[in-house]
Each structure stands twice: as C-alpha cells, then as structure tokens.
Amino acid sequence: MYTRHTTFPLKPDSASKAEQIGRKYGKLLHDLPGHVSTVMVVDDTTFTSVSTWDTREHAEAVRQTRDDAQNELGDLLSAAPSTVISATLVHDVD
C-alpha cells in the first residue's frame, strides 16, 4: 500500500469553505480505483488530505483529482499545495 499526503496552505478565515470543498473530494476519492482510506484535516492555516492506495500507480493517478481540488480551492490558498507519496508502513483499521 501507498499513502498520499497532500497539504494545502490556506489563507486566514478560509478553513470553513475549504472544509466544504474537502468533503466533496473525499467522496470522489472513495470511488477511485485502488482507494483504501482517506482522512482529511482542516485547521486555521492548512487543509491536509492523507489517503491510502493499494498500489503506487493508483496513488499517483490521483494527481488530476488533486489538481481539480487545487483549482476549486483557488483563492483560499496562500501557496501551492505539496504532495508526498510513500510506502505505507502500518494501516490499522480494526
């Protein structure tokens, strides 16, 4: 398995709107091939998405969805998002 960790830096007072957009993309990720799980976290300065995929190829294929989210977040972002894909060491869903 592979984990994709994307951080979207937010402008002040944009967390609520980012949360709404994040919920939409959480549902989209769930339906993509190879999806295992997703956790999204929003605070005052950052929207973070951590998703787990069955293969590196599926984790990398999410790039277009990430780009779509970046476009929709648009004016809410204080900088470009960053994404790291890594091998998953532990994935415990008990």
Whole-prediction pTM value?
Answer: 0.86
Residue-level pLDDT at 94: 64
- List the one residue out of 53, 57, 77 whose CA is nearest residue 67: 77
pLDDT at 91 over 80: no
Q: In this prediction, what percent of the chain has a pLDDT beyond 70?
A: 98
Q: How far apart are CA 8 and CA 71, in angstroms?
A: 11
The residue ranking higher by pLDDT, 3 or 28, is: 3
The residue ranking higher by pLDDT, 69 or 14, is: 14
Mean pLDDT of 46-51: 94
Please give the CATH number for the structural domain made up of 2-87.
Answer: 3.30.70.100
pLDDT at 4 over 80: yes
Q: CB under 8 Å to 26, separation ≥6 — which residues?
A: 38, 40, 49
Mean pLDDT of 71-80: 92
pLDDT at 63 over 80: yes
